[in-house]
């Protein structure tokens, strides 16, 4: 894993465990200045991967308790069983001695997976990335939704600009689009758990622009091929402000590589 790309450099941890040190970068900030939850999760997974000695984060759950700010942080691990095919452990991310995020993850070696396959869902039906529009290509003056942090780390291509980007949310909390890390870093299983939380939330299309994640669960289903990732996001149940967001990532070869669900709460 090269540390030259911002994703790798900014998720790096130092130490030998169970305590690691990290530096939360402002390059993954969202509106409000705190760090994106997918990025913070990726920092915790870097520490867990080192301790669990397996390549692929198969199943991941993150509980967001407080906002994480740019600056120093520590990651404390509490390992569980290391067996076959899984090794499991927990991570707590702290700043100033306060626990902000708690993660549990089971790592495996997905190249060893061996069993039946039957897929009934299908990849998003998108025009080629070059025939799509850059979601952040022509930013309007009102930059509330497009803070300078994380939007510079990602490239998103859409068949047409969504309603919320034109000041007219469609009322349908669903979208399909292409996504990749900016700067040419190819996707891998360590990038997928963070990416599911980095795109525009589906509730933007309902006219709700501030939402906080309570819990995020990610299942990594395969190692992604290089290239653009086809994404599908939706929210079907907004109940008293609480809502789920389902996210799928398919690779450039048409394989489902990650599936996630988060529970979030509207703040506006």
Binding residues (CB under 8 A) for its own copies: these are 58-59, 61, 63, 65-66, 78, 80-81, 83, 85-86, 88, 90, 92, 98-99, 102, 104, 106, 110, 113-121, 172-173, 206, 208, 214-215, 217, 219, 221-222, 236-242, 244, 256, 259, 261, 263, 265-266
Nearer to its own copies, 175 or 256 (CB): 256
Nearer to its own copies, 12 or 214 (CB): 214
Q: How far is the CB of 127 from its own copies (least distance, A)?
A: 24
How far apart are alpha carbons 54 and 13 in whole angstroms?
Answer: 17
CA nearest 216: which of 80, 75, 87, 37? Answer: 37
How far apart are alpha carbons 130 and 133 in whole angstroms?
Answer: 8
Question: Do the beta carbons of residue 23 and residue 54 sit within 8 Å?
Answer: no
Q: How far is the CB of 41 from its own copies (least distance, A)?
A: 13
Q: How far is the CB of 116 from its own copies (least distance, A)?
A: 6
| Chain-centroid distance, C-alpha 174 | 17
Q: What is the per-residue burial (b if ≥16 Cβ within 10 Å, else e) of 157-167?
A: bbbeebbbbee
Tokens 């095919």: give the residue. Answer: 85
Nearer to its own copies, 147 or 266 (CB): 266
Question: Which contiguous run of DSSP H or E holds residue 154?
Answer: strand 154-158
Please spell the DSSP secondary structure of 59-117, one letter per residue.
EEEEEE-S---SEEEEEEEEEEEE-SS-EEEEEEEEETTEEEEEEEEEEE-GGG--S--
Q: How far is the CB of 131 from its own copies (least distance, A)?
A: 27
Question: Do the beta carbons of residue 183 and residue 152 sit within 8 Å?
Answer: no
Nearer to its own copies, 59 or 133 (CB): 59
Nearer to its own copies, 65 or 166 (CB): 65
Nearer to its own copies, 188 or 244 (CB): 244
Question: Do the beta carbons of residue 215 and residue 62 sit within 8 Å?
Answer: yes
Nearer to its own copies, 103 or 156 (CB): 103
Q: How far is the CB of 251 from its own copies (least distance, A)?
A: 12
Q: How far is the CB of 102 from its own copies (least distance, A)?
A: 6
Q: How far is the CB of 71 from its own copies (least distance, A)?
A: 19
Tokens 């996210």: give the residue. Answer: 247
């Amino acid at each position: 894993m090269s540390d030259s790309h911002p994703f790798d450099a900014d998720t790096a941890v130092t130490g030998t465990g169970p305590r690691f040190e990290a530096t939360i970068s402002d390059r993954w900030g969202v509106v409000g200045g705190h760090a994106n939850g997918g990025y913070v999760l990726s920092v915790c997974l870097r520490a867990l991967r080192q301790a669990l000695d397996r390549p692929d984060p198969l199943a991941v759950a993150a509980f967001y308790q407080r906002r994480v700010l740019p600056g120093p942080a520590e990651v404390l691990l509490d390992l569980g069983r290391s067996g076959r095919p899984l090794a499991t452990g927990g991570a707590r991310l702290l700043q100033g001695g306060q626990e902000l995020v708690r993660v549990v993850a089971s790592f495996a070696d997905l190249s060893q997976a061996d069993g039946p396959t039957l897929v009934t869902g299908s990849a998003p039906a998108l025009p080629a990335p070059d025939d799509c529009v850059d979601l952040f290509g022509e930013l309007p003056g009102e930059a509330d939704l497009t803070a300078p942090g994380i939007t510079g780390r990602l490239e998103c291509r859409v068949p047409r600009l969504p309603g919320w980007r034109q000041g007219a949310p469609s009322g349908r909390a669903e979208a399909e689009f292409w996504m990749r890390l900016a700067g040419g870093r190819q996707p891998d299983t360590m990038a997928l758990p963070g990416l599911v939380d980095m795109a525009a939330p589906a509730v933007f299309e309902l006219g709700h622009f501030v939402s906080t994640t309570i819990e995020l669960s990610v299942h990594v289903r395969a190692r992604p091929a290089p290239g653009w990732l086809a994404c599908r996001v939706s929210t079907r149940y907004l109940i008293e402000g609480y809502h789920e967001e389902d996210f799928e990532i398919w690779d450039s070869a048409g394989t489902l590589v990650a599936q996630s669900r988060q529970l979030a709460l509207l703040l506006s």
